[in-house]
Amino acid sequence: MSTVPAKPFVLYTAGTPNGRKVSVFLEELRAIYGERVDYDVEKIDISRNVQKEPWFIKLNPNGRIPVLVDRAREDFVVFETAAILLYLEQHYDPERKLGFDPVSHPNDYSEMLQWMFWAHGGVGPMQGQANHFNRFAPEDIPYAKQRYILETKRLYGVMEIRLTDRDYLAGPGRGVYSAADINVFPWINVHQFAGIESLDEWPSLKVWFDRIKAREAVQDGLAIP
Ligand SMILES: N[C@@H](CCC(=O)N[C@@H](CS)C(=O)NCC(=O)O)C(=O)O
């Protein structure tokens, strides 16, 4: 009797921007490398706090999605989205199609890290707080609502500056599509949820957004879970 080999990864995730950073990246990898980077999806119901249950805390002490388990590397566990993308890039993108080699292209690699760290400490948490105070907070706090929306818009303006004469955030010339773009795209994708009606204020960001959104792998990644 033949057994079906397990897929190399398990992705514990939910339908949120952070979850989708990883599913988009995995779908982009799958479009290049096929079954070698296939993955099982375990949907975590964050509305029921499944991510705070003891079994999940063993995977990620921070109690948040997403988490990637790499069956092909002795069930190595990775949490924090930017760290997951960089891990996948290091081990599963030998052709460096979604990133840059730190040894042969150190400046491009540094630019990619700069934009990933910037988004990880900026757009993600600020837009997340804008969502919280505008949609979920048990009391109405106008100062907090205003502060996080304004900060999110300021950060969109930072991307606008960078993208004015470029197609992508990192890399030579007009830039090259990479983990730096995938790391922030799912947040821009839900700008309306945060109360930002349109991207018209940031025309270069809008062109970048439309270009990435049109990619088939991005559409596939956004559909998970
Ligand atoms: N810095 C973390 C943030 C992860 C995060 O905030 N995940 C959210 C969903 S987008 C979550 O799990 N929320 C549920 C909770 O905080 O309990 C990362 O990049 O992985």
Dist. CA 143–CA 14, nearest whole Å: 30
Percent of the chain with pLDDT over 90: 97
pLDDT at 57: 98
Mutate to test the pocket of ligand 1, among 64, 67, 189 (most ligand atoms within 8 A of CB): 64
Asked if pLDDT for residue 110 goes beyond 70, the answer is yes
Provide mean pLDDT across the span 203-216: 98
Q: Ligand 1: distance of its center to the CA of 1 in Å?
A: 42
Over residues 193-199, mean pLDDT: 95
- Classify residue 170 by burial, with Cβ atoms within 10 Å: 0-12, 13-18, 19+: buried
Atom of ligand 1 nearest to the CA of 65: 12
* DSSP notation for 36-105: GG-EEEEE--GGGTGGGSHHHHHH-TT--S-EEEEGGGTTEEEESHHHHHHHHHHHH-TT-SSS--TTT-
Q: Whose CA is nearest to atom 11 of ligand 1?
A: 64
Q: Which residues line ligand 1 (CB under 6 A)?
A: 16-18, 46, 51, 63-65, 80-81
Report CA(104)–ligand 1 centroid distance (Å): 33
Which residue CA neighbors atom 16 of ligand 1 most closely?
64
- 217 CA to middle of ligand 1, Å? 23
pLDDT digits (tens, 9 = 90+) for 133-187: 999 999 999 999 999 999 999 999 999 999 999 999 999 999 999 999 999 999 9
Please compute the mean of the pLDDT values over residues 10-31 and round it to a whole number: 98
50 close to 59: Cβ distance less than 8 angstroms: no
pLDDT at 2 over 70: no
**What's the average model confidence in pLDDT over 59-77?**
97
**Residue 4 pLDDT more than 90?**
no
The answer for residues whose C-beta is within 8 angstroms of residue 100's C-beta and 6 or more apart is: 108, 109, 112, 170, 171, 176, 178
Q: How confident is the model at residue 85 (pLDDT cuts 50, 70, 90)?
A: very high
Which amino acid residue places its CA nearest to atom 1 of ligand 1?
Answer: 80
Mind listing the domains of the chain with CATH numbers?
9-98 (3.40.30.10), 106-218 (1.20.1050.10)
Res 1: pLDDT: 61
Report the atom number in ligand 1 closest to the C-alpha of 84. Answer: 20
Residue 151: what pLDDT? 98
Query: How far is the centre of ligand 1, averaged over its atoms, from the C-alpha of 223 (Å)?
Result: 18
- Ligand 1, atom 18: nearest CA belongs to which residue? 80
User: 40: which residues sit within 8 A by CB, 6+ positions away?
Assistant: 6, 7, 9, 10, 11
Report the nearest atom of ligand 1 relative to the CA of 14.
9
128 C-alpha to center of ligand 1: Å?
9
